[in-house]
Chains A and B, each alone.
Chain A
């Protein structure tokens, strides 16, 4: 299966600076021929590069509203993060009605599916083996991060599908089982969800037909919201489900005492590092979100993550939970769990053959000793160590380091000067000798 990425490079805008390579959590970008190329195997679609690129040369390939025409019947599944993009005077029902007006036949909130996932999580936590914390599967960038950097933790990922996927399955299996040519569109805060719908992990095929990024439709949506005449009561999710948009929302919704919420990709990496070392104890459930503040910090949102988070808290607070929350759970015909294995990706290993990997490791250590250790990025790799790795993998040369190159030139020039002043004995000036 081809691994499809949603994060792509706009070559015309890329100036070959090193901002993105320095921030990529999986060292997946290299500057070559003046452009920042993504190493596909390593990319987890977290969107950090989109966030940091000063020239907006990194972007996500999301679908547009024109794709709705391909289907006879369409349902939008908005991430609850969408609610935080709008000021407090826009109620959830207003936002959902406006979204429907953009051309959808119906709306099903991802937050309502989150209520269903919460119920499943509670069941799963009750049957959890002791001393092994479970890791949430809801952030696809974190799942991919674990595949690449922490394969030993794969077995700890909860095998429940994400709210996006469950929403799509429920729409097709339970709500509109008889509709033909039905299209389900997720309204996404991040590129990782786009990838999750196109190349899912944990299932062979996603029930999601298209993913539209929040920033792509925001202006249309705001205009539609401003012109609303009637507001439909479309919001059905509980305050808990809505809170999944921000960090701690998911972990608190489980009601489980020993949970922890980690947000921001670097924090997640440090945490998983400690978890792998066995340092993290007395935790049963780990909510790990790649973006700062949780999904509200997604790279394809409009609003400041912290403003958005505050709005989510206020809007969730206005919901009357007694009337809401995951009512479909008892009668759903949809499969809520993952049905295929999450495979390990040995991207870090230097060679498939152990002996060769050892040789390359020794070579790499030797090369590192000769590099300046400044991690300047001028060679196109994020760190001196990464350059050494690229050299032993055969994708870079030692002279790619400008300091090594400069030194080589110096030695060469000195040698040239010495040779230049050397006269054969036949021509040598007697006095000078």
Chain B
């Protein structure tokens, strides 16, 4: 049973709002009294995914929900998609532009970092159509 559901719009054109969805959801988790180690892992995984949605997906939506057993966050974008997911999962692999790298992003640690902090990570992507990233963190 879904106990709580939150939706966020990820706006790629507003740098001041980068990371806002993760920060807001983190605050919600703190108010719900979720254990701090779970919050920390959720915050890291969600933040990385949010930044990916901005720099690769050209923005999109995030849907975060909590049920009795887990936190589930789904990021959807209509960006270029990931041609080779296996390759993208490797540490250090990056397709980010030099401008993005100069902003401190795109070091190629995003997806591996999400995987490390989540209980389950699944990525569905179709080149040219977009990407759906589902992060699950067990409570």
Which residues in window 14-43 of B have CB below 8 A to A? 19, 22-23, 26-28, 30-34, 36-37, 39-40, 43
Is B47's CB under 8 angstroms from A277's CB? yes
Within 8 Å by CB of A349, from B33, B37, B43, B66, lies B33
Interface residues on B, range: 20 to 34
A352 CB–B CB distance under 8 Å: yes
Is A276's CB under 8 angstroms from B4's CB? no
B78 CB–A CB distance under 8 Å: no
Is B43's CB under 8 angstroms from A276's CB? yes
Q: Which residue of B lies closest to A357 (CB)?
A: B32
Which residues of the other chain, B, contact A277 by a CB distance below 8 angstroms? 19, 22-23, 26, 43-44, 47
Is B40's CB under 8 angstroms from A276's CB? yes
Which residues of the other chain, A, contact B33 by a CB distance below 8 angstroms? 346, 349-352, 354, 357
Within 8 Å by CB of B47, from A151, A278, A348, A351, lies A278
Which residues of the other chain, B, contact A355 by a CB distance below 8 angstroms? 3
Which residues of the other chain, A, contact B40 by a CB distance below 8 angstroms? 152-153, 276
Is A152's CB under 8 angstroms from B22's CB? no
Is A350's CB under 8 angstroms from B23's CB? no
Which residues in window 40-67 of B have CB below 8 A to A? 40, 43-44, 47-48, 66
Q: Is the interface of B mostly helix, strand, loop or mixed?
A: helix
**A350 vs chain B, min Cβ distance (A):** 5
Is A361's CB under 8 angstroms from B22's CB? no
Which residues in window 322-369 of A have CB below 8 A to B? 344, 346, 348-352, 354-355, 357-358, 361-362
A273-B23, A361-B4 known; A278-B43 Cβ under 8 A: yes
**A384 vs chain B, min Cβ distance (A):** 15
Interface residues on A, range: 20 to 34
**A166 vs chain B, min Cβ distance (A):** 29
**A131 vs chain B, min Cβ distance (A):** 11
Is B43's CB under 8 angstroms from A358's CB? no
> How many angstroms from the CA of A348 to the CA of B4 in the assembled complex?
18
> How many angstroms from the CA of A59 to the CA of B102 in the assembled complex?
45
Q: Which residue of A lies closest to B40 (CB)?
A: A152
**A327 vs chain B, min Cβ distance (A):** 41
Within 8 Å by CB of B48, from A278, A348, A362, lies A278
Is A350's CB under 8 angstroms from B31's CB? yes
Q: A276-293: contact bitstring with B at CB < 8 Å (1 yes, 0 no)?
A: 111101000000000000
> How many angstroms from the CA of A152 to the CA of B40 in the assembled complex?
6
Which residues of the other chain, A, contact B47 by a CB distance below 8 angstroms? 277-279
Q: Which residue of A lies closest to B48 (CB)?
A: A278
> How many angstroms from the CA of A277 to the CA of B28 in the assembled complex?
14
**A280 vs chain B, min Cβ distance (A):** 10
Q: Which residue of B lies closest to A151 (CB)?
A: B36
Which residues in window 92-114 of B have CB below 8 A to A? 107, 113
**B62 vs chain A, min Cβ distance (A):** 14
Which residues of the other chain, A, contact B48 by a CB distance below 8 angstroms? 278
**B24 vs chain A, min Cβ distance (A):** 11
Is A348's CB under 8 angstroms from B31's CB? yes
Is A361's CB under 8 angstroms from B28's CB? yes
Which residues of the other chain, B, contact A350 by a CB distance below 8 angstroms? 31-33
Within 8 Å by CB of B32, from A153, A279, A358, lies A358
> How many angstroms from the CA of A354 to the CA of B34 in the assembled complex?
8
**A270 vs chain B, min Cβ distance (A):** 10
Q: Which among A278, A350, A352, A389 has the greatest number of chain B C-beta atoms within 10 A?
A: A278
**A361 vs chain B, min Cβ distance (A):** 6
Is B31's CB under 8 angstroms from A278's CB? no
A349-B32, A354-B32 known; A278-B113 Cβ under 8 A: yes
Is A361's CB under 8 angstroms from B36's CB? no
> How many angstroms from the CA of A350 to the CA of B43 in the assembled complex?
19
> How many angstroms from the CA of A358 to the CA of B29 in the assembled complex?
10
> How many angstroms from the CA of A352 to the CA of B36 in the assembled complex?
14
> How many angstroms from the CA of A362 to the CA of B48 in the assembled complex?
27
Within 8 Å by CB of B4, from A154, A274, A278, A362, lies A362
Is A349's CB under 8 angstroms from B31's CB? yes
**B18 vs chain A, min Cβ distance (A):** 9
**B107 vs chain A, min Cβ distance (A):** 8
**A105 vs chain B, min Cβ distance (A):** 46
Which residues of the other chain, A, contact B117 by a CB distance below 8 angstroms? 278
Is B32's CB under 8 angstroms from A344's CB? no
> How many angstroms from the CA of A346 to the CA of B29 in the assembled complex?
11
> How many angstroms from the CA of A296 to the CA of B48 in the assembled complex?
37
> How many angstroms from the CA of A279 to the CA of B40 in the assembled complex?
12
Q: Which residue of A lies closest to B114 (CB)?
A: A278
Is A358's CB under 8 angstroms from B23's CB? no
- Considering the complex of A and B, which 4 residue pairs feature the smallest CB-CB distances, nearest first? A349-B33, A278-B44, A152-B36, A152-B40
Write the residues of chain B forming the contact surface with A, with a CB cutoff of 8 angstroms: 3-4, 19, 22-23, 26-28, 30-34, 36-37, 39-40, 43-44, 47-48, 66, 107, 113, 117
Q: List 6 A-B contacts (CB under 8 A).
A: A152-B43, A278-B43, A348-B30, A349-B32, A350-B33, A389-B31
